Amino acid sequence: MDSSIDKATLNAQKRRKLAKLIGWATFALALFYGIQYVLSPAIERDSILIAHVEQGPVSSSIIASGVVVPRFEQQISSPMQTEITRVFLKAGAQVKAGDIIMELNNSRILLLVNGLHDQIQLKDVAIDRLKQQQAKDVRALQSRIELLNVDLKGQNIHLNRYLELQTKHIVSDFDVDTAKLTVEKTQIELRQLKEQVNDIRGLINIDLEKIALEKKILSHQLATQQVLLAQCQVKAPYDGILTQVLDQPGQNVNQGLTLAKVANLKSYRIEGTLSDYYAQQLSNGLEVKIKLPSGDSIGTLTRVLPTVTNGVMQILVDFNQPDISQLRPNLRLELEIITAQKQQSLRVKNGIAFNGGGLQEIFVVNQDSARKQKVTTGMSNAQYIEIITGLEQGDQVIISDISEYQHLNTIQIN
């Protein structure tokens, strides 16, 4: 027959079980941390990068890529609708000013030029004919004027003689009046002839002016066609390189179509590309460090193009003092766009351990160990990152990739 267990015995059994559970839990935790300590590998000092926190200038920058392009490029367009007859140079060729790149069909222009020459010659003939006619008519009138002057002279002598005889009552008043009328008639004829000379000169001069104006218009048309004729030989406007050429003889081209492009090799700029993520940080006038083979050069961001293609935007960068000897078209360069600068701030060399700006955790080195510490970072570029809080000048931090130890608070350094 079972006997009942008193309450004191039950309580004692419960306490013993609880003590065993606590003991086993404590043992398990100690075992876990002991194993973790034993198995946790130490870092070799040679395998990590350690940098010192220091005072110095720091800047925020954006990395972009760019291509060297000629600053000036002239486009040569077709002067008319025609076709390409011959091509002498291909894209990429070096050219001197005046070098012939291609020839266009000029047969239609030649017909127009020859026709205009003929019309101008006809105008010259018409001018000469009018001048000769004017001279002939004026000579005929002047001959009559000379004869009338002789008649008038004789008539005046006759009239004066009659006037003298009239005082002696030898001739009648009628004879004197008749002589006076004869003189007046001759004077009227002389005046009319002189007016005819002026009229002939005036009328023919009007015709001459009209023909001269027509000739001037034809000459302007001829000059325009001669310019077009000269443009049928497509020539390089200056020393440079051909960046584009229509090189298919027989191809029809419309007026205004681009036939060739010539780039000036005396001045360059950079066409850069970067993600449109940085669009809000860009503005004209920002300083740009240009990574040339011989070292950095300084440039200026002169234009942010508004178009974005597949998340990529374009910028234009001018050299402040370009060394042309180092540059060539299509040379690819790295650009560092400076968006903000401080002349004096806490800084440390940038590395993989940092993840942009803001609050983050890094390992601070103290002799043979490193402890995790929260720091606040600010501006950064490829070389340095700004330390706002969490570190002091002289501190040493691990800047290489130790993400596999990020779960630990302290690591050993051998």
Contacts of 345 (CB under 8 A, 6+ apart): 55, 56, 57, 58, 378, 379, 386, 387
Q: Say whether 194 sits in a helix, a strand or coil.
A: helix
List pLDDT tens digits, range 265-292.
888 899 999 999 989 989 999 999 998 8
**Signed CA dihedral, 166, 167, 168, 173: sign only:** positive
Query: 107-231 in CATH: which number?
Result: 1.10.287
Both structure tokens of 281: 């940080």
CATH number 2.40.50.100 given to 72-104+233-263: yes
List pLDDT tens digits, range 134-147.
888 888 888 888 99
What is the Rg, in whole angstroms, of the alpha carbon atoms belonging to the chain?
53
Is the fold of 45-69+267-412 the same as that of 72-104+233-263?
A: no
Domain ranges of the chain: 45-69+267-412, 72-104+233-263, 107-231
CATH number 2.40.30.170 given to 45-69+267-412: yes
CA-to-CA distance for 5 and 10, rounded, in angstroms? 7
Quick one: CA torsion of 238, 244, 248, 250, rounded to 10 degrees? -60
CA-to-CA distance for 190 and 156, rounded, in angstroms? 14
Residue 334 CB coordination number (10 Å): 15
Length of the chain: 414
pLDDT of amino acid 24: 74
Give the pTM. 0.55
Helix or strand (DSSP H, E) at 30: helix 7-39
Tokens 């010659």 belong to which residue? 121
Local confidence band at 259 (pLDDT 50, 70, 90 cut-offs) = very high
Residue 2, pLDDT > 50, answer no
Residue 43 DSSP symbol: B
Phi, psi torsion values for 126, nearest 5 degrees:
-65, -40
pLDDT of amino acid 235: 94
